[in-house]
Structures are given as structure tokens and as C-alpha cells.
């Protein structure tokens, strides 16, 4: 869809809103669908019998029918996993509000469910291969989002260091840009370094959904191998959640989330958070003498130049629950961060003065309306634009060693390469989503996501550079169309199509005359378009046994960083990149059972197969420091991940998950070689392929005082050792490896007054093991934290 078409679509939308306001008649019938326990049921189908009125409840189980004429009606409600229900209502001369309770179909588990499988279970019941984390259960911990994700089967987060350090998310062998991250369905890739998974506190999220391989179209984006969607609490309510933690390495974290919704519908929300850490944890290094270069092997030293801090505020103001807008919020996200750079790609390289900094200055708008110009048509519209910029500062001409000693050189230089480069990427996103349900069985969805990128770069050290003034622009548009067919409560199937468009504008330099010093630029514009598709289906074999299968031919358009490079990260441009593509297959089953009415067990297992082509791979320039991205390589990956979870009454819960994946290089011929590659079918190196978690929590109720609860929890992360390079190459005793990791965390949470006040103690890396996610980049040593939290909420 072109920009023009898209603008037309928006104006059409607004036009219809105006129309809508004039034809108002009848009354509102609204309500909420819940379980007997009070848990809300999202995406339930609600039909007013013998009329054309039907709709799907939202993620919180809410539904609203507008313009219902007075009379007696029968409401029919159904949802996957629940028995259907009918309810008589009568509309007289007033709006009607009803609450609907459905019985869980899984009778066997009526009284015994596994702890930790409540609200998020509704998400897990989708036909997609998806795992949802109930973030609320982690609100008393000091986790950021990336550490919470690290506990999901099939997912690995690889960090380079401590608080705020660069981290990379991998799902089933795909990583980095191949995974898309969304917040409330809005792609986050333009948010800059001040608002990322490694610094967003868990308290911002209500739940976190991880889609493996197949990404539903309501997450509009070009993900090759999966997506993460952070869902914040969007219920209109009045709440206040404040927390502060401090601990080892002078680490301080604060998060405040507050919201107020007035009777009039006026809504205001504020989320503010801050992270600070010296990150001066102990590492084992070879420290060099600055003069002779001699190494002192196995020195245990503290990191000395790794301070990180970020501060971010999100404010939203608007209205909720109006006829013309179920939600209209105007907001602003502002934030900044500064990160000292302690090491290079190896810990052998140590810095003492370089740092990066960045900010986010982003106005946002969110708009939601239900029953737009026909009943059952719901529309969401989101837009934002980030005016932030990122800078690397390297202006101190010194050489450091691990003891913090340095040699100061005279003149102007840097530690690595003198720079004050600033990048301002001018990113914008417009995302629109429309759903329409027709009867009980059919629903349709249309999603369009448009992103724009227009880089401005400058370095005050090279102010006159005309190279920096060249155009670097991309525009992406991803249009998705989906259809869902619910044959009955047991069987549900979705199919979808996605169209990917990429427009780039750039220039190439040339020498017009051949004379020394002459330079000119020619502007180019390129367009590419591709079509992807997929399907997902789920079936309940028994009430407590679900199987699901999904498939997608996915595409990922090359990112602006890959097309235009990033001089601050020594990434060179490659404007000729093609989209990468993959065939992703998933097959999964989940089963729940219980015995003796007190023990509950849940099993989940997923098989997956990936077949990726034109893989965008990072390669190094010959004789250069820079790396750049190329379309190289084929890769296949088949794997399995599974989870078993047990709980005993509400007193104890424990789980184990394991992931194994077999990533193979299927590039038969390397470029410039006419013979079968030596690494053909070898395991892809430097990617973890076997890992898992074990956790256990014991709950004590009414400790010291009634209403005060204590829980003690333990989490173990295991990652099997893997090689840095091709496994078949080199002698075994010389091979460089990322050693196996055992990370033990302990925590104790004491909640007072039914959760209003909370105190948590945590010990991370209990046994002070040497932990590595990347070759030679050591992660934090043992650390202790304490967290205080106050929470108050009132439903409107």
C-alpha cells in the first residue's frame, strides 16, 4: 500500500466517525465476559440472537453493542475452552450493563489448576505457537523484560554485561532484527536505546507474549522468526504502583506507574522509570602492563568504566469509553540514557573513557473505536514519531589496562577512533488494525503498518562533510489480511496474507572528471515488494488436550541499519540487500491433568522446523575493521522445546523447561568457490542450542499476620556449552568455546496487606559462577538486591 493510499484510508476512517455521530439511536449493551473465578476471558464471541449484532470481546473480555433498540433479546456467548452460554436481557429506556460468567470446559481441572496459568492461558490457547508470561507475578522482582523473557522455553537472551548492556533476543535460532518486538501491538524498532527490553522494568507490562516462528497479522511487522508483544494494562482504572530497588554494584532502579480514569471518561496515565548501575562487578581477565604488554594472567579485577543510567517518562492523556472513541490517548515518551563502554568485542580490549548516549523524544497517539459504521467492526489506530538521537563519544587520547592505569598521549585522538558522531534517524510509525466478525464462525482482520526512516548524521569533528548530507531514507509498508474460522469450540483455523513493500532513497559517490579531489553524488530510488502467507489451526482432542499447528512463509525486509550501516558500531552500509525469507513450521500439544484434587500438572511440547534462505548475515570486510550485512546462506533448524509444570494446592509450584535446536548451515557453495563448502551441514556456530530453566516457589500464607504472605523462589538457568566457530574445524583442545552456564537465583517476597506493600530480597548468581553469553564477555558476579513496592488499584 502506498503512502497516498494509506492517507486516504485514514481520512476515510475519520470521515466515517463523523457520519457515525449523526446517526445515533438506541442504547448501549455492554459488559464483560469472565470466568467463575473472576478472570476475564478475551476474544469471546458475543451474539445478540435473531439480529445481525455480533462481536468479539477485547483482550479484557469487554464488549459494547451500540444502538440496540428497546426489546427482549437473547445473548449467546462462546469462547474456546469454555462452555457456551445464553442469557436473556431486556433493553428498556436505558443502557444495559451485564456481566457474563462462563464455565471452564476443562471440568477435570475445575478446582485444581496449575499456578501461573491463568490470564495468560487465554493467549496460550491460540492456534499460534505462543507462550505468554504473566508479568504481574514478577512485579515484585527486579527483573527487566529481557530477563523475564530468558525464562521462556525456546527463547535465549544474550547479554554482553550488566545493567543496560547490549542484549540480543533469540527465538528458535533466529535473533536480533529477525525477531520483532512490539508494545501493545506497535513495533518498537524505532525507539532507540533509551526504551528497550534491557531497561524497561517488568512492572510496565501486564503480560508478555512470545510468538515463535509464526506471527499473527495483528502484530504488523516483518519478523522472520518470531515476535514479542509487551501488553500493558489497558483497563480504565485508577491505580498506583511505585517501586524502588537497590543492590550490589551501586544499582538503583525506580519505577512509578499510575493511572486515573474519571467518571467522565477523562483518562491520564504516567509511567516513569529509572535505572542506574556502576556495573563494577568482578571479572577474571588477563591484565596487561601498559609499557611492556606483558599479561598478568587470571587477574580478578572490578570493572571500572561501565556506569549505565537511563531515565524515561511516558505520559498519556485522553478519554475512554465514549461513543466516538473507546479510547483516544495523546501521549509523549521522553527518555535518555548514557552507557560507558568498558570493553571491545573481546575483554582483551579495555576502555576507560568512551561512552554512548541517546534519547527518545516521541509524541504518540492511540485511538480505538468499536462498531465503526457497522456492528462488529472495530478499529485501532496508533502513530508515533521519534525525534531522538544517538551518539558515540571517543575524544580522550589514552590507552587503558584492566587496573585502570592509562597512558595519556598528546594531541587529539581517541581510545579506539576519535568520534563525536550523532545519528538522528527520524523514525515514524503508523499502525492501523481493523477486525470484523460475521456471525459466530467468521472473523476478518486487516492490519497496515507503515514505518519511515530518514537519517541525518553529523560529527562536529568533521563539520563540512558532504557525505553526511546524502539522503538515507527508507519507507516500509506491511499490509496483512487475515481470516479466522471457528468451526466449533474445538476447532479454530486462521489463514493470512502479508504484503511487504520497501522503498529506499540513497546516493552513490563517483568521480565525474577523474581528477584528484573531484566528487559528485547520484541519487537512487529503489522499490521492492513481496508477498508472504501463513496459517494456524488448533483442535481440542480432549477437553484437556489441545494440539496446534502453524505455518508461515515469512519475510524480513532489510533494516535501515543494515542498508545504511551504523558508523558508531563499525557497521558499513550495503544498499543492495534483499529481503530474507523463511518457511516456519510449528506443531505443538498441551495437556493438563490433576490427581488427588491437590496436585496439578501441565505439559507443553512444541516441535519446530525452519528453512531460511537469503539469510542476512554479518560479514567482515577484507582488511577492514567494519562489518557489513550480506544475503548469504541457507539455514535449517529443527528443534523441540517443552515444559512441565507442577503445583500442589496454592502452596508450591515448580517447573522445568528445556530447548534443543539443531541449526545447520545449508549453504552448499560459498561465493567464489565451485566446490561443496567445508561447512555444509555443519552446526551453525556461536548460537546456543541446548538450554533450559528450573524453578520452584513455596508460598506461605498469613505469615506473622493475616493477609501477609511470604514466598520463597529459586530459578536455575542452564545453557549448554557451544563453540565460537564451526564445530568440525580445528583440533578439539584448541577450540574456543562459550562454557556451560549454571546461573542460580534465589528470591524471597513478603507481601503485606494483601499485596499493597511488598518487600523482596534477591540473590543473583548465588554461587558466583563465571557466566558468559558471548565469547570472553563475562557477565555479573554474585549480586544482592532489595526491592520495595507499593501497589494500589481500583477498578472503574
Partner 1 sequence: MKKGNKLALFAAFIAFTTFSCSSDDNSGNGTGGGEDTGKTKYIITATTGAVGIADYLLTTDDVSTGTISTIGNGIEQDGTYRYYITAQNNFFSLLYGQGNPGAVTTYNLTSEGKLQKKSDFQAETVHVFAAVNKDILTVKVPRSGAASIAMMYKIDAEKSLITGEAQQDTKKLAGNGERAFFTWATQVGDKVFMPYMSIKGDGLDNFGTANPDSTWVAVYNYPELKLEKVIKDNRTSYLGAYFTNGLFQDENGDAYGFSGAIATSNATLTSTKPSAVVKIKKGTTEFDKSYFFNVQEKSGGYKISSTTYISKGKFLLLMYGNAGKNNGAVKMAIADVYNQTFTWVTNAPETLTSVTSRYNITSEDGNSAIVGINTPEGSWIYSINGTTAVATKGMKVEGGQITAIQKLKY
Q: What residues numbered 497-536 form the site for partner 1, per CB under 8 A? A: 509-511, 514-519
**Where in 569-588 is the site for partner 1 (CB under 8 A)?**
570
| 634 lies in the binding site for partner 1 (CB under 8 A) | no
187, three cell numbers: 513495533
Choose the stretch contacting partner 1; rule: CB under 8 A; options: 160-168, 223-231, 310-318, 615-623.
Answer: 615-623
Choose the stretch contacting partner 1; rule: CB under 8 A; options: 40-48, 92-100, 254-262, 397-405.
Answer: 397-405
Measured distance CA(558)–CA(630) in Å, rounded: 10
Q: Is 395 helix (H, G, I), strand (E, B) or coil?
A: coil
Query: Cβ(606)–Cβ(657) under 8 Å?
Result: no
- Among 82, 181, 171, CA closest to 122: 82
Taking the least distance from each CB to partner 1, the nearer of 266 and 669 is 669
Is the four-CA dihedral 493, 437, 5, 381 of positive or negative sign?
negative
Interacting residue with partner 1 among 736, 790, 792, 794 (CB under 8 A): 736
**Where in 5-34 is the site for partner 1 (CB under 8 A)?**
none
Taking the least distance from each CB to partner 1, the nearer of 704 and 767 is 767
Measured distance CA(230)–CA(219) in Å, rounded: 11
**Minimal distance in Å, beta carbon 599 to partner 1?**
9
379, three cell numbers: 478499529
Residue 628 to residues 307, 428, 624, 632: CA-CA distances in angstroms?
29, 25, 11, 12
Site string for partner 1, 441-460 (x = CB under 8 A): ------------------x-
Taking the least distance from each CB to partner 1, the nearer of 98 and 716 is 716
- Among 170, 129, 128, 164, CA closest to 149: 170
Interacting residue with partner 1 among 735, 759, 763, 782 (CB under 8 A): 735
Q: What is the 3-state secondary structure (H, E, C) of 639-699?
A: EEEEEEEEEECCCEEEEEEEEEEEEEECCCCCCCCCCCCCCCCCECCCCCCEEEEEEEEEE
**Where in 300-359 is the site for partner 1 (CB under 8 A)?**
344-346, 348-350
For partner 1 (CB under 8 A), the number of binding residues is: 90
Residues in Cβ contact with 345 at an 8 Å cutoff, skipping those fewer than 6 apart: none
Choose the stretch contacting partner 1; rule: CB under 8 A; options: 75-83, 122-130, 673-681, 783-791.
Answer: 673-681
**Minimal distance in Å, beta carbon 735 to partner 1?**
5
Interacting residue with partner 1 among 411, 460, 595, 704 (CB under 8 A): 411
Interacting residue with partner 1 among 460, 672, 705, 706 (CB under 8 A): 672
**Where in 286-305 is the site for partner 1 (CB under 8 A)?**
286, 288-289, 291-295, 297-298
**Where in 465-494 is the site for partner 1 (CB under 8 A)?**
465-467
| 794 lies in the binding site for partner 1 (CB under 8 A) | no
Query: Cβ(470)–Cβ(521) under 8 Å?
Result: yes
Interacting residue with partner 1 among 525, 673, 702, 754 (CB under 8 A): 673
| 694 lies in the binding site for partner 1 (CB under 8 A) | yes
Between the two ends of the chain, the Cα-to-Cα distance in Å is 40
| 461 lies in the binding site for partner 1 (CB under 8 A) | yes
Measured distance CA(230)–CA(76) in Å, rounded: 31
| 724 lies in the binding site for partner 1 (CB under 8 A) | yes
Choose the stretch contacting partner 1; rule: CB under 8 A; options: 33-41, 86-94, 261-269, 677-685.
Answer: 677-685
| 422 lies in the binding site for partner 1 (CB under 8 A) | no
Interacting residue with partner 1 among 76, 87, 418, 553 (CB under 8 A): 418
- Among 250, 268, 311, 256, CA closest to 139: 256
Strand-strand pairing, 180-183 and 226-231:
parallel
Measured distance CA(52)–CA(438) in Å, rounded: 8
Choose the stretch contacting partner 1; rule: CB under 8 A; options: 7-15, 54-62, 305-313, 413-421.
Answer: 413-421
792, three cell numbers: 494500589
**Minimal distance in Å, beta carbon 308 to partner 1?**
21
Taking the least distance from each CB to partner 1, the nearer of 276 and 723 is 723
| 739 lies in the binding site for partner 1 (CB under 8 A) | yes
Taking the least distance from each CB to partner 1, the nearer of 621 and 792 is 621
Looking at residue 540, the DSSP 8-state letter turns out to be E
Interacting residue with partner 1 among 12, 618, 650, 753 (CB under 8 A): 618
Measured distance CA(378)–CA(64) in Å, rounded: 11
Burial class (CB in 10 A: 0-12, 13-18, 19+), 237: middle
Query: Cβ(788)–Cβ(796) under 8 Å?
Result: no
| 97 lies in the binding site for partner 1 (CB under 8 A) | no
Taking the least distance from each CB to partner 1, the nearer of 342 and 546 is 342
Taking the least distance from each CB to partner 1, the nearer of 418 and 553 is 418
**Where in 254-273 is the site for partner 1 (CB under 8 A)?**
none
Measured distance CA(197)–CA(230) in Å, rounded: 10
Amino acid at each position: 500500500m502506498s503512502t497516498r493510499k494509506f492517507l486516504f484510508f485514514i481520512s476515510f476512517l475519520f470521515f466515517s466517525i463523523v457520519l457515525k455521530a449523526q446517526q445515533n439511536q438506541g442504547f448501549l449493551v455492554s459488559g464483560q465476559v469472565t470466568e467463575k473465578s473472576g478472570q476475564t476471558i478475551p476474544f469471546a464471541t458475543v451474539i445478540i440472537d435473531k439480529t445481525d449484532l455480533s462481536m468479539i470481546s477485547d483482550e479484557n473480555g469487554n464488549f459494547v453493542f451500540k444502538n440496540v433498540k428497546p426489546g427482549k433479546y437473547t445473548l449467546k456467548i462462546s469462547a474456546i475452552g469454555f462452555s457456551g452460554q445464553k442469557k436473556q436481557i431486556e433493553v428498556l429506556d436505558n443502557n444495559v450493563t451485564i456481566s457474563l460468567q462462563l464455565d471452564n470446559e476443562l471440568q477435570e481441572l475445575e478446582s485444581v489448576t496449575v499456578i501461573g496459568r491463568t490470564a495468560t492461558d487465554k493467549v496460550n490457547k491460540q492456534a499460534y505457537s505462543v507462550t505468554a508470561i504473566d508479568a504481574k507475578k514478577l512485579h515484585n522482582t527486579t527483573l527487566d523484560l529481557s530477563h523475564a523473557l530468558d525464562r521462556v522455553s525456546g527463547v535465549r537472551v544474550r547479554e554482553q554485561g550488566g545493567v543496560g548492556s547490549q542484549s540480543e533476543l533469540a527465538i528458535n535460532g533466529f535473533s536480533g532484527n529477525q525477531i520483532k518486538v512490539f508494545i501493545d501491538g506497535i513495533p518498537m524498532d524505532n525507539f532507540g536505546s533509551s526504551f528497550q527490553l534491557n531497561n524497561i522494568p517488568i512492572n510496565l507490562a501486564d503480560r508478555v507474549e512470545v510468538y515463535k516462528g509464526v506471527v499473527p497479522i495483528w502484530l504488523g511487522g516483518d519478523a522472520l522468526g518470531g515476535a514479542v508483544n509487551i501488553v500493558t494494562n489497558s483497563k480504565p482504572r485508577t491505580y498506583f504502583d511505585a517501586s524502588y530497588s537497590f543492590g550490589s554494584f551501586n544499582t538503583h532502579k525506580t519505577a512509578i506507574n499510575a493511572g486515573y480514569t474519571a467518571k467522565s471518561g477523562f483518562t491520564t496515565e504516567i509511567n516513569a522509570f529509572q535505572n542506574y548501575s556502576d556495573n563494577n562487578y568482578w571479572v577474571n581477565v588477563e591484565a596487561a602492563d601498559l609499557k611492556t604488554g606483558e599479561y598478568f594472567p587470571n587477574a580478578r579485577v572490578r570493572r571500572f568504566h561501565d556506569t549505565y543510567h537511563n531515565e524515561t517518562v511516558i505520559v498519556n492523556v485522553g478519554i475512554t469509553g465514549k461513543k466516538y472513541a473507546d479510547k483516544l490517548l495523546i501521549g509523549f515518551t521522553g527518555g535518555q540514557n548514557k552507557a560507558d563502554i568498558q570493553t571491545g568485542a573481546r575483554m582483551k580490549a579495555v576502555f576507560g573513557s568512551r561512552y554512548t548516549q541517546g534519547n527518545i523524544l516521541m509524541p504518540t497517539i492511540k485511538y480505538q473505536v468499536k462498531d465503526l459504521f457497522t456492528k462488529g467492526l472495530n478499529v485501532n489506530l496508533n502513530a508515533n514519531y521519534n525525534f531522538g538521537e544517538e551518539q558515540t563519544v571517543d575524544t580522550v587520547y589514552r590507552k587503558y589496562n584492566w587496573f585502570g592505569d592509562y597512558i595519556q598521549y598528546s594531541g587529539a585522538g581517541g581510545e579506539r577512533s576519535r568520534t563525536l558522531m550523532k545519528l538522528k534517524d527520524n523514525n515514524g510509525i503508523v499502525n492501523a488494525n481493523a477486525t470484523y466478525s460475521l456471525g459466530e464462525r467468521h472473523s476478518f482482520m486487516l492490519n497496515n503498518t507503515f514505518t519511515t526512516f530518514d537519517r541525518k548524521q553529523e560529527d562536529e569533528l568533521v563539520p563540512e562533510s558532504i557525505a553526511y548530507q546524502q539522503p538515507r531514507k527508507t519507507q516500509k509498508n506491511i499490509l496483512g489480511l487475515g481470516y479466522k474460522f471457528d468451526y466449533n469450540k474445538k476447532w479454530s483455523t486462521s489463514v493470512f496474507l502479508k504484503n511487504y513493500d520497501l522503498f529506499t532513497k540513497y546516493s552513490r559517490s563517483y568521480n565525474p572528471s577523474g581528477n584528484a579531489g573531484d566528487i559528485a553524488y547520484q541519487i537512487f530510488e529503489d522499490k521492492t515488494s513481496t508477498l508472504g502467507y501463513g496459517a494456524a489451526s488448533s483442535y481440542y482432542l480432549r477437553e484437556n488436550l489441545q494440539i496446534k499447528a502453524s505455518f508461515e512463509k515469512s519475510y524480513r525486509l532489510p533494516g535501515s541499519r543494515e542498508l545504511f550501516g551504523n558508523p558508531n558500531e563499525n557497521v558499513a552500509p550495503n544498499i543492495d540487500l534483499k529481503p530474507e525469507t523463511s518457511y516456519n513450521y510449528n506443531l505443538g500439544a498441551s495437556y493438563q491433568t490433576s490427581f488427588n484434587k491437590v496436585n496439578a500438572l501441565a505439559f507443553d511440547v512444541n516441535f519446530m522446523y525452519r528453512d531460511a534462505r537469503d539469510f542476512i548475515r554479518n560479514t567482515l570486510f577484507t582488511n577492514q575493521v567494519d562489518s557489513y550485512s550480506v544475503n548469504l546462506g541457507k539455514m535449517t533448524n529443527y528443534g523441540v522445546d517443552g515444559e512441565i509444570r507442577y503445583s500442589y494446592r496454592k502452596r508450591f509450584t515448580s517447573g522445568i523447561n528445556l530447548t534443543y535446536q539443531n541449526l545447520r548451515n545449508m549453504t552448499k557453495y560459498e561465493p567464489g568457490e565451485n566446490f561443496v563448502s567445508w561447512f555444509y551441514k555443519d552446526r551453525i556456530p556461536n548460537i546456543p542450542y541446548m538450554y533450559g530453566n528450573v524453578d520452584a516457589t513455596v508460598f506461605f500464607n498469613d505469615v506473622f499476620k493475616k493477609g501477609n504472605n511470604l514466598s520463597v523462589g529459586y530459578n536455575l538457568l542452564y545453557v549448554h556449552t557451544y563453540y565460537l566457530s564451526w564445530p568440525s574445524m580445528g583440533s578439539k583442545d584448541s577450540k574456543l568455546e562459550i562454557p556451560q552456564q549454571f546461573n542460580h537465583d534465589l528470591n524471597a517476597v513478603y507481601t503485606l496487606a494483601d499485596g499493597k506493600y511488598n518487600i523482596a530480597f534477591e540473590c543473583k548468581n548465588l554461587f558466583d559462577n563465571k557466566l558468559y553469553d558471548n565469547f570472553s564477555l563475562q557477565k555479573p558476579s554474585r549480586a544482592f538486591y532489595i526491592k520495595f513496592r507499593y501497589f494500589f488499584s481500583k477498578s472503574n
